[in-house]
Structure 1
Amino acid sequence: MRTLADSIAEPGLIFEHAPVGLMVTHDRIIERCNLALAEMFGYSPQQLAGQSTEMLYPSHEEFELIGDRGAVSMQRTGSYRDQRIMRHSKGHMFWCAVAGRSFTPEKPYASVIWVFEDISAQRPLSADLTTREREIAARLVAGMTSKQIGKELAVSHRTVEAHRSRLMHKLGVTTPGELIARILGMPRP
């Protein structure tokens, strides 16, 4: 009978059976992923191997924007992490906690290992949001002000406030606190 120590001696076995999604990419192309990641997105590992990670994002714009932010962080620190909305193969969106470490910070996407965790149970989506609304929602949850969000996204704080107002209307809330609670998936009182 195999022991845990025997399994630890086989890194491939650990990678394949880890309870979180794992993926190795080269220049944002999926070289390898485990079953947990494939199932999270509704694919098999074979369907994902050799594909661009863009297929996992809600839009091309988000693929580019998150990619730009990730590159800056990995060049500076060697790693990147965030919580973001991703796209399942069936088309529905879900929240993911994502962390990546580059093996080559000077060329951040040349070789990266990623960890994905589906956090939609704690943070369900309650409305179809635009790319910009998702970006703003994620930053509101992180506690950023309209001015901070505007600076980070290179838009005016008034644009951020307009998007926040539309978010409040879409989610049927009237206060900023209710907005944050709805974005986080908390039930209505």
Structure 2
Amino acid sequence: MLELDQIAYDHAPMGLVLTEHRVIRTCNDTFAQMFGYEKEDLIGQSFRLLYGTDHEFHQVRDIGLEPLRQSLPYSDERLMRCADGNRIWCRFRARTLTPEDPLARTVLSFALIETKDSGPQLTKREREVVLLLSQGKTSKEIARDLGLSPRTVEDVRARLLKKFEVKNVAVLLARLAGLSSSPMS
């Protein structure tokens, strides 16, 4: 039966990963293929490898820790970097095996949402603003965090609303989370 379990794990329709303190300890074939790596090349690597910048990697660290501490799963969407440098949107889900230290041992799943060729593309600045908006931050707080003027953040927000054809940030975040598909909702 163990052989069947391994086949099911390796060929699951989503990427599966076990991490310890954000280091990949094991992953399935689907995960490695999704990101354009060989499985052996990912084992022992920091998840930093899959983020565009150190800043992004560190910025997402604490997102979702509170539900994990309560033994609840956490889910969001992330823009991740593949081996070839291209970026993909993934639905990310996490469950910790160690609620007292949520990142000590965590099981993650990744499902591809869209590739670089589908849907509106986000600039680095737009990704930063969306990430902070998803944390409930105001334009002033985002401006302070990114070292920008509040007016610049407002311009980025307006550009995002236009790009995704939505009326407000709540609908934008819902669209990015796959909860709404109609324009100008």
**TM-score of the superposition, structure 2-length normalised?**
0.74
2:79 is the alignment partner of 1:82: no
Amino acid corresponding to residue 142 of structure 2 in structure 1: V
State the shift of 1:33 in Å.
0.5
Query: How many percent of aligned residue pairs carry the same amino acid?
Result: 33
Cα distance change on mapping 1:78 and 1:159 into 2, 3 Å = farther
133, 136, 140: which one pairs with 2:129?
Answer: 136
Counterpart of 2:100?
106
Cα distance change on mapping 1:50 and 1:127 into 2, 3 Å = same
SS in 1 for 2:138: helix
State the shift of 1:96 in Å.
0.2
Distance 1:105 1:160 in 2: 36
Cα distance change on mapping 1:88 and 1:58 into 2, 3 Å = same
Distance 1:124 1:85 in 2: 13
Larger radius of gyration: 1
**TM-score of the superposition, structure 1-length normalised?**
0.72
Alignment of 1:30-179 (within 5 A): 30-120=24-114, 124-130=118-124, 132-137=125-130, 148-150=136-138, 154-155=141-142, 160-167=153-160, 171=163, 176-177=166-167
SS in 1 for 2:74: strand
Tell me how large the CA RMSD over aligned residues is.
Answer: 3.6
Distance 1:20 1:112 in 2: 16
State the shift of 1:127 in Å.
3.0
Runs (5+) with no aligned partner, structure 2: 144-149
State the shift of 1:163 in Å.
2.1
23, 31, 38: which one pairs with 2:17?
Answer: 23
State the shift of 1:10 in Å.
4.2
Distance 1:31 1:126 in 2: 34
Runs (5+) with no aligned partner, structure 1: 1-5
